[in-house]
Amino acid sequence: MKIIESVPNFSEGTNQETVNAILNAFRNTRGVRLLDSTYDSNYNRLVATIIGSPKAVEESLLCASDIAIERIDMRNHRGQHPRMGAVDVVPFIPIRDVTMDECVRFSKSYGRRLSQKHNLPVFLYDESARNEKRRDIDFLRRGEFEGLTEALKDKERKPDFGPAVPHPTAGATATGARGIMVGLNVNLSTPDLQIAKKIAKAIRAKSGGLANIKAMAARIEERNITQLGITNVNFIKTPLYRQLELIRIEAERYNVRIIGSEFCGMVPLDALISVVEYYLKLENFKREQVIDIHIPPD
Amino acid sequence: MKIIESVPNFSEGTNQETVNAILNAFRNTRGVRLLDSTYDSNYNRLVATIIGSPKAVEESLLCASDIAIERIDMRNHRGQHPRMGAVDVVPFIPIRDVTMDECVRFSKSYGRRLSQKHNLPVFLYDESARNEKRRDIDFLRRGEFEGLTEALKDKERKPDFGPAVPHPTAGATATGARGIMVGLNVNLSTPDLQIAKKIAKAIRAKSGGLANIKAMAARIEERNITQLGITNVNFIKTPLYRQLELIRIEAERYNVRIIGSEFCGMVPLDALISVVEYYLKLENFKREQVIDIHIPPD
């Protein structure tokens, strides 16, 4: 059975009615399960996690997008997270019996239909992007909603579907296929942000750390500690234990310890299994040995 | 949805036709999934792992037991594992939306029906046992098949169902409710069985080690190492990481290292999660964050 995941981001984290209306589009679509949703007024953003058959996921995304575009007016939107549209980003992630190429096709189908219905510019990013530069969502979103009119005049920023002018209230949308990302926040025993930043730099791929790892440092005022926000974009090649052990090693030179960690959102079983395999020195383990995957979901 | 597990043990590990006939009883019962089966001529024993609705599991067990009793003649049975009957042990294990008390009732229903159909003595063990002494399968099985006639004369060994004389070819059966057990073999860097035995003694509950842990030591001739065979009868109270770290600590005094480990049979997701939580210092993790448990089984 083909299963894909999507983690759509909508630019509304404050208005409870709009949040519910969007989430209900997922709750009410047969063949789709809403696994997680987070929103807050700080980011003013709603992030939902859904899985299901490709067809059902696409339909529920179109339905939720209609609601978001109808209800959200980006001209009045304020929030700390970069954003360019009411429906900001919609990834398509292969989970079971689906290839990345198929997810590229699903993203193009969704993007084309969304664009046609609302006369909205849509960009294809990551695995669906037309060139290397446009894989990067941050490149496509530069200038955010407010800078869209200008940005769309640049031929490097030409949308993949729809007009080269922003939708007046809904801006533009990015969609594309990508692999599963695992988010892990790691708390450090130091309140010193400079040290946390040095550790983040030491472990992230861009600055010479681990491949597939993005990391940023932040202070957690209420606990007087610092935290590394880490995104692993390929937990198969770069398992979670390696990421944690490298943090431990880099932190040690500052006499800093890892005092806790927390997953952001969903985690694939295989990511957990590789952690258990490492620390228990497990041999010959098969995921089919996990009882729970043989039990139908509630 | 109510789900239980059973791990029935049959006294046949050599005759492929009998093994298949027994396993087909599980494969062919609607509502039952055969998750695992192991058998070898050394133990001359078949161990199957099944899950399903309580009703379907009970029916498939009765069907498989009929086949085993019809085909297996204990008078000709040789094997290294202690055994007293063609259907040797049949546990009932709560998995979801089922209490231990319900599993006690399921085991009694199965035991009564099996006994009546075949005029076979049946013992209730573990959570279904009528007293503390009879919880122990080893106590009920003492003397094995060959000693059954004598043993059944002892009033402490009176069967819970059926006659106080063994079935001529099928002996007797033990059934009962119990919790999930997790089997883990841990390989040690030493070929010295005496050292492995000391480590086994140090970690098992009976001799002052960890609660809920049974352990035995063996030599693995072909690799020139030793192995601890460990059974954890309550992985919630005594998590797997604790068991492994204690082995590490006890092995260290002999300059022995853990060089690998292997799960025997099935493992619950929660047992893996507690390992990940410990080593990653995870906070606030919920099993619902594991994507895979939301996906229907193949």
Asked if the structure places residue B261 within a domain, the reply is: yes
Instruction: With residue A227 as reference, give the H or E element that holds it.
Output: strand A225-232
Q: What is the mean pLDDT of chain A?
A: 96
Tell me: do A270 and A222 sit in the same domain.
yes
Please tell me the distance in Å from B257's CA to the nearest CA on chain A: 11
**Does the structure show a pLDDT above 80 at B298?**
no
> Which CA distances in Å does A23 have to A58, B113, B187?
14, 51, 50
> What is the average pLDDT across A77-83?
92
Tell me: do A166 and A230 sit in the same domain.
no
**Does the structure show a pLDDT above 80 at A298?**
no
The verdict on a CB contact (< 8 Å) between A240 and B95 is no
Per-residue pLDDT tens digits for B165-220 = 999 999 999 999 999 999 999 999 999 999 999 999 999 999 999 999 999 999 99
B7 neighbors B48 (Cβ within 8 angstroms): yes
Q: Collect all residues of chain A within an 8 Å Cβ-Cβ radius of residue B1.
A: 296, 298
pTM: 0.90
Tell me: do B35 and B78 sit in the same domain.
yes
Q: Where are the alpha helices (DSSP H) in chain B?
A: 16-27, 54-71, 100-118, 137-141, 148-151, 193-203, 240-252, 269-280
Domain count, chain A: 2
Given B269, B272, B294, which is nearest A35 (Cβ)? B294
Positions of A marked active-site: 81
Size of interface A-B (CB pairs under 8 A): 136
Instruction: Answer with the residue of higher pLDDT: A159 or A80.
Output: A159
* Cβ atoms < 10 Å from Cβ of B203: 24
The verdict on a CB contact (< 8 Å) between B266 and A291 is yes
Tell me: do B170 and B187 sit in the same domain.
no
Best mutation site among B266, B272, B285 for testing chain A: the one with the most A CBs within 10 Å? B272
Which residue range(s) make up the domain with A33? 3-177
Tell me: do B121 and B165 sit in the same domain.
yes
Asked if the structure places residue A145 within a domain, the reply is: yes
> What is the average pLDDT across A175-195?
97
Nearest CA in chain A to B241: A280
Q: Collect all residues of chain B within an 8 Å Cβ-Cβ radius of residue A284.
A: 262
Give me A67's structure tokens. Answer: 């609601």
Tell me: do B22 and B52 sit in the same domain.
yes
Asked if the structure places residue B33 within a domain, the reply is: yes
Per-residue pLDDT tens digits for A223-269 = 999 999 999 999 999 999 999 999 999 999 999 999 999 999 999 99
Measured distance CA(A178)–CA(A127) in Å, rounded? 6
> Which CA distances in Å does B285 have to A223, A272, B200?
19, 12, 32
Last residue of a domain, one of B177, B210, B230: B177
Given B259, B263, B297, which is nearest A296 (Cβ)? B297
**Does the structure show a pLDDT above 90 at A27?**
yes
The verdict on a CB contact (< 8 Å) between B35 and A293 is no
Please tell me the distance in Å from A206's CA to the nearest CA on chain B: 24
Per-residue pLDDT tens digits for B260-273 = 999 999 999 999 99
Tell me: do A172 and A187 sit in the same domain.
no
Asked if the structure places residue B198 within a domain, the reply is: yes
Say what the pLDDT of residue A190 is.
Answer: 98
Say what the pLDDT of residue A43 is.
Answer: 87
Tell me: do B91 and B221 sit in the same domain.
no
Say what the pLDDT of residue B228 is.
Answer: 96
Asked if the structure places residue B247 within a domain, the reply is: yes
**Does the structure show a pLDDT above 80 at B145?**
yes
A116, A123, A154: which is closest to A137 by C-alpha? A123
The verdict on a CB contact (< 8 Å) between B272 and A268 is no
Instruction: Indicate which CATH number applies to the domain containing B47.
Output: 3.30.990.10
Q: Collect all residues of chain A within an 8 Å Cβ-Cβ radius of residue B292.
A: 268-269, 292-293
pLDDT confidence tier of residue A41, bands split at 50, 70 and 90:
confident
Task: Tell me the HSE value of A279 on the side-chain side, using a 13 A CA sphere.
Answer: 26
Say what the pLDDT of residue B80 is.
Answer: 84
The verdict on a CB contact (< 8 Å) between B280 and A290 is no
Please tell me the distance in Å from A251's CA to the nearest CA on chain B: 15
Per-residue pLDDT tens digits for B15-67 = 999 999 999 999 999 999 999 999 988 889 999 999 999 999 999 999 999 99
> What is the average pLDDT across A81-100?
97
Residues of chain A above pLDDT 70, percent: 100
Best mutation site among A241, A291, A293, A298 for testing chain B: the one with the most B CBs within 10 Å? A291
Asked if the structure places residue A78 within a domain, the reply is: yes
Tell me: do A129 and A261 sit in the same domain.
no
Last residue of a domain, one of B128, B147, B177: B177
Tell me: do B125 and B195 sit in the same domain.
no
Per-residue pLDDT tens digits for B157-167 = 999 999 999 99
Residue type at position A99: T
> What is the average pLDDT across B115-128?
98
Asked if the structure places residue A297 within a domain, the reply is: no
Please tell me the distance in Å from A35's CA to the nearest CA on chain B: 8
Q: Collect all residues of chain B within an 8 Å Cβ-Cβ radius of residue A273.
A: 272
Instruction: Indicate which CATH number applies to the domain containing A191.
Output: 3.30.70.670
**Does the structure show a pLDDT above 90 at A13?**
yes
Question: What ipTM was assigned to the predicted interfaces of this complex?
Answer: 0.89
The answer to whether B294 is a known catalytic residue is: no
Tell me: do A201 and A154 sit in the same domain.
no
The verdict on a CB contact (< 8 Å) between B291 and A241 is no
> B208 by DSSP, 3-state: which?
coil
* Cβ atoms < 10 Å from Cβ of A222: 6
Q: Collect all residues of chain B within an 8 Å Cβ-Cβ radius of residue A298.
A: 1
Asked if the structure places residue B296 within a domain, the reply is: no
Last residue of a domain, one of A155, A177, A199: A177
Residues of chain B above pLDDT 90, percent: 95
Q: Collect all residues of chain B within an 8 Å Cβ-Cβ radius of residue A292.
A: 268-269, 292-293
Tell me: do B32 and B93 sit in the same domain.
yes
